[in-house]
Amino acid sequence: MAAKRFYTLSASCPDQIGIIARVAGFIAGHGGWILESSYHADAGDDDDLGSKDTGSGGRYFMRMQVKADSLPFHLAEFRERFRPLAEELSMIWRISDSAVKRRVVILVSTQEHCLYDLLARWQSRELDIEIPCVVSNHDTFKSFVEWHGIPFHHVPVPADNKPAAFAEIARLYDEVRGDTMVLARYMQILPADFCARYSGEIINIHHSFLPSFVGARPYHQAYRRGVKLIGATCHYVTADLDQGPIIEQDVIRIDHSDSIDDMVRYGKDIEKAVLARGLRYHLEDRVLVHANKTVIFR
């Protein structure tokens, strides 16, 4: 049986009295049936250890799912009708339609595990998305990707002409009308202007439990440091290397007998799971970003 179609409204605004009542009242006033709702109030940064700012710095976050056929109008009209209320509440918001599949463009280099995992989840419809293309700075996975019926684009990134390479990636992404770009172990640093252009649309998997061991070869860094936990981090990409808002993380325990190769092998399993979960949260509009932090409605 086909899943019921629904709209997902996600929003944040300055905290104030009556937000839930106003938004739920708007939906109910048009006959809307709320299927799921989540809320979070953030009172702001701590002034010190034990003193929390309860002044004007607070922010309110919400996510609602509304049964689509309970409303007397389509999504475009919902946006028009809701906009005055959103402006009155100084709200940052979006609303999406479960009937419209997100278009996810995957970028990869020469590490296969995250690419293989995402394609398996796509093929089984565990991730109900469209993958209009895969882009790589190597041609290693060309036949594998094309075997799945997905266009593959080899875009080398030469050290002496990186701007042209990323201009081509941007062109491909725009041409296929991408919604989300996933760096599935894509081992290139994205230019600042590229990150700004697609802010909030680029997701990376970093093979470390950030903020520890930023940059290249984190398992080697972890081995030298003698850590007892290693992990992986799914985060949004910003111009600051490996510093973007964190979506999902996980760890696994290791001990003194584990080699670097063991750590890499363990880490690959964590990376696949963390990337899949983080991407799912993003696609389901469960992630709200404020400053460099995230609120995740699981």
Which active-site residues does the annotation give? 242
Residue 275 CA to residue 185 CA, distance in Å, equals 10
C-alpha dist (Å) from residue 200 to 8, 78, 111, 178, 281: 17, 23, 24, 13, 13
Dmax over CA atoms of the chain, in Å, equals 63
Determine which helix (DSSP H) or strand (DSSP E) holds 26, and give its type and residue range. helix 19-29
Exposed, middle or buried by CB within 10 Å (0-12, 13-18, 19+), for 33? Answer: middle
Q: CB 271: neighbour CB atoms within 10 A?
A: 26
Q: Tokens at residue 125, please?
A: 């419809």
CB 135 within 8 A of CB 156: no
